Structure 1
Amino acid sequence: MRFIQTFDLYPFLDTAVSLFAAFLFGTLIGAERQYRQRTAGLRTNVLVAVGAAAFVDLAQRIAGSEEAVRVISYVVSGIGFLGAGVIMKEGLNVRGLNTAATLWCSAAVGACAGTDMVAEGALLTVFVIAGNTLLRPLVNAIDRIPINEQKAEATYEVRVTARRDNAPALRELLVERLEQADYPVGDVEIADRGDETVDIVATLVSTAIDPKEIDAVTSGMEKEDGVRHATWEGSTAG
């Protein structure tokens, strides 16, 4: 049997230690994700860590360290497809980035275990868990700090809801009033709402605004004939 010819006790035990370490470290990382009810929880992080360890260990046993390095590079790129599956976009918000990054780190932990760098894998596990737990109070504190619209880099849109037949004139008027307030317009779109009304959306070139000035523009537009509603919003840039 081929198995009898290829089986070697000491390399087998070495592989067992690597896979067990990857399983243990993946469990520690995944338990925190599971506790917070994230998309990729305990089992996913364990499987990512063990899978990465198995591929790297197999390559190292068959072809040596150089081939193991090559497999690690494939693991790094391949885990990106798995991470993309947990990222969801909801309007202007993106969810799942932290979970995807945790999967990426679990793969790194598994790669460390697969190359017999168990101590380094343990150290990385500590940092990953610390990043997901100890930094949470700091993140919450920062999120509670009010945003200064005059200093934040963001994309701003002014939206006017009006009757369809008034749209061309109101479009020109909106651009004119924004430019009079020293807010150049980068683009203007007219979107049909389906009930004889349209949305006139002007995207500003400016990355910082004075809310009072934009409020004055929208208030003035609401007084125009055919305008049902006028507002503005900003989305913070990454």
Structure 2
Amino acid sequence: MHALSTFDFLLRLATGVFCGALIGVERQWRARMAGLRTNALVATGATLFVLYSEAVGDASSPTRVASYVVSGIGFLGGGVILRDGASVRGLNTAATLWCSAATGVLAASGKLAFAVLGALTVLAVHFVGRPAGRLLDQAPAAGTDPDAVVEANVHLRCDRAAESHIRALLLQSLTASGLTPTGLRARRETPETTSLRASLSVSGDIACALEQVISRLSLEPGVRDLHWHLDEEEDVNQAMA
């Protein structure tokens, strides 16, 4: 094993500091807790520890010291993880510190090109992963698939004298909202009131689709009761009755 020269020491140390600082620029730009200096110092420390083992000439020491660096950075990363209510902040920053230490270990081991490639990869993950994560966050959740079609019912109780007007207004409101009724049933409950039930198929956001209909009909003076529900909810209510 050849002795580590001063030039090699400075070259590896400079590469480690550069890689850590390069990663830290992105964190500083995002105004995160661990910015340019913190990442540069983490990479510098990892580089110096491994360089020490290289300098003493122990062939097995660099690998052993690198494993200690990995575990030590875990404690440092834990200090930047904060709990904010039900959410946790700082996980990305902690992982970035870990990666900065890894680039320092690579630089100290003489793998300068690999260290630079590692730093560039970390930056790519931040710049590409951020918009990709936001895109995935906007994906429809379970049960909100815009292509999924569900059956809904609109129930309405009105004055019997206003039955014809309310029925026409109900159909008009559904059509204006882009909804097509699949059935309409009228039932006279008492001599004074009539119950109307409109069945329809809805895709996408059900509440948004029926909001205008409910808002429009609720303003009519002849309407006494107005609500909507899914067919599944009606089945459950009938089973519990």
* Distance in 2 separating the partners of 1:101 and 1:65: 29
Counterpart in the other structure of 1:84? 78
Secondary structure of residue in 1 paired with 2:33: coil
In structure 2, the gaps of 5 or more residues are 145-231
Counterpart in the other structure of 1:176? none
Secondary structure of residue in 1 paired with 2:60: helix
* Distance in 1 separating the partners of 2:26 and 2:44: 17
User: Is 2:123 aligned against 1:129?
Assistant: yes
* Distance in 1 separating the partners of 2:91 and 2:57: 35
* Distance in 1 separating the partners of 2:134 and 2:59: 43
* Distance in 2 separating the partners of 1:130 and 1:140: 16
Counterpart in the other structure of 1:148? 142
* Distance in 2 separating the partners of 1:25 and 1:33: 13
**TM-score normalised by the chain length of structure 2:** 0.57
User: Is 2:29 aligned against 1:31?
Assistant: no
Q: 1:49 aligns with which of 43, 53, 65?
A: 43
* Distance in 2 separating the partners of 1:149 and 1:65: 58
* Alpha-carbon offset, residue 146 of structure 1: 3.0
Secondary structure of residue in 1 paired with 2:140: coil
User: Is 2:92 aligned against 1:104?
Assistant: no
* Distance in 1 separating the partners of 2:9 and 2:143: 55
* Alpha-carbon offset, residue 149 of structure 1: 6.1
Secondary structure of residue in 2 paired with 1:122: helix
Q: Deviations over 1:7-35 (max 9, x none)?
A: x8x61111100110011111110000000
Residue type at the aligned position of 2:73: I
Secondary structure of residue in 1 paired with 2:80: coil
Name whichever of 106-115 and 89-98 sits farther off: 89-98
Residue type at the aligned position of 2:50: V
Residue type at the aligned position of 1:122: V
- The structure-2 alpha-carbon separation of the partners of 1:149 and 1:80, relative to structure 1 and needing over 3 Å to count, comes to farther
Residue type at the aligned position of 1:13: F
**Max Rg structure:** 2
- The structure-2 alpha-carbon separation of the partners of 1:142 and 1:77, relative to structure 1 and needing over 3 Å to count, comes to same
Q: Deviations over 1:193-221 (max 9, x none)?
A: xxxxxxxxxxxxxxxxxxx87xx99xxxx
Report 1:56-95 matches (<5 A): 56-95=50-89
Q: Deviations over 1:97-120 (max 9, x none)?
A: 011000000000000011111011
Secondary structure of residue in 1 paired with 2:88: strand
Name whichever of 105-114 and 141-150 sits farther off: 141-150
Residue type at the aligned position of 2:78: A
* Alpha-carbon offset, residue 135 of structure 1: 1.7
* Distance in 1 separating the partners of 2:117 and 2:82: 30
* Distance in 2 separating the partners of 1:65 and 1:121: 21
Counterpart in the other structure of 2:11? 17
Secondary structure of residue in 1 paired with 2:5: helix
Counterpart in the other structure of 1:230? none
User: Is 2:109 aligned against 1:115?
Assistant: yes
> In the comparison of the two structures, how many residue pairs are matched?
148
In structure 1, the gaps of 5 or more residues are 1-7, 151-211, 218-238
RMSD: 2.3
Q: Deviations over 1:56-90 (max 9, x none)?
A: 01111103331010000000000001100110111
Residue type at the aligned position of 1:103: L
Residue type at the aligned position of 1:50: T
